């Protein structure tokens, strides 16, 4: 018997948030959207997610106003984070930092830099060089020491993330 998707009886904002982003794959889809993934096929290839599950998660996230589908190149739908979706960045950033701190051998798998200053941006979201909070659109993501020994996958997302890549900029093959 599948688990229910809601937390009926819970009058808690965390429970409501988990109803939106708490299902398996959902936060990874959102993470990849921050990394610049926009195309259905790129999500499938990079995440290894079943197509039917991805279709359901994208539909749900679009229905909740976290992602928006728009016609992209070649008439295919592309998914981008909405303003509501962009506000999830501190959550995603914090979970990435927490995972690196507790479950990553050899250091962080991805590092973030302030595009303007080149300074390191840690889990708290501030630039080590200028001391300012860095908005997501001003961040570069690059391989960290915990990922350096692993070869990049053959998909366009892994290839793009093998060198510094500005967050939110589309990943293209």
Domain that includes residue 121, residue range: 88-166
Give the pLDDT score at 150.
61
At 80, which CATH number? 1.10.10.10
Domain end marker among 33, 58, 85? 85
Angle (CA) 137 27 47, round 5° = 95
Domain shared by 94 and 59, yes or no: no
Q: Mind listing the pLDDT tens digit for each residue in 29-38?
A: 999 999 999 9
Tokens of 102: 């507790």
Question: pLDDT at residue 5 above 80?
Answer: no
- Same-domain check for residues 95 and 156: yes
pLDDT of 173 > 80? The answer is no
Across 15-27, b (16+ Cβ under 10 Å) vs e yields eeebbbbebebbe
pLDDT of 100 over the 60 cut: yes
Q: State the DSSP code for 113.
A: E
Chosen domain end from 85, 104, 135: 85
Q: Which of 68, 85, 102 is the last residue of a domain?
A: 85
pTM of this prediction exceeds 0.85: yes
Q: Using an 8 Å Cβ cutoff, are 25 and 53 in contact?
A: yes
Please answer whether residues 143 and 106 qualify as being in contact, where contact means their C-beta atoms are separated by less than 8 angstroms.
no
Higher pLDDT pick, 153 / 88: 88
Looking at residue 1, what is its pLDDT?
58
Domain count along the chain: 2
């Amino acid at each position: 018997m599948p688990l229910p998707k809601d937390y009926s009886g819970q009058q808690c904002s965390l429970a409501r948030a988990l109803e939106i982003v708490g299902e398996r794959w959902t936060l990874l889809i959102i993470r990849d959207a921050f990394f610049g993934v926009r195309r259905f096929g790129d999500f499938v290839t990079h995440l290894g997610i079943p197509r039917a599950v991805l279709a359901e998660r994208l539909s749900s996230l679009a229905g909740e106003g976290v992602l928006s589908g728009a016609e992209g190149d070649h008439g295919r739908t592309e998914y981008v984070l909405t303003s509501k979706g962009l506000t999830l960045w501190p959550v995603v950033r914090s979970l990435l930092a927490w995972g690196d701190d507790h479950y990553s051998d050899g250091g962080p798998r991805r590092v973030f830099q302030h595009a303007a200053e080149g300074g390191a941006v840690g889990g708290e979201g501030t630039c080590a060089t200028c001391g300012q909070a860095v908005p997501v659109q001003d961040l570069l993501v690059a391989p960290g020491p915990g990922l350096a020994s692993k070869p990049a996958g053959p998909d366009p997302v892994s290839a793009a993330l093998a060198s510094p890549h500005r967050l939110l900029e589309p990943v293209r093959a």
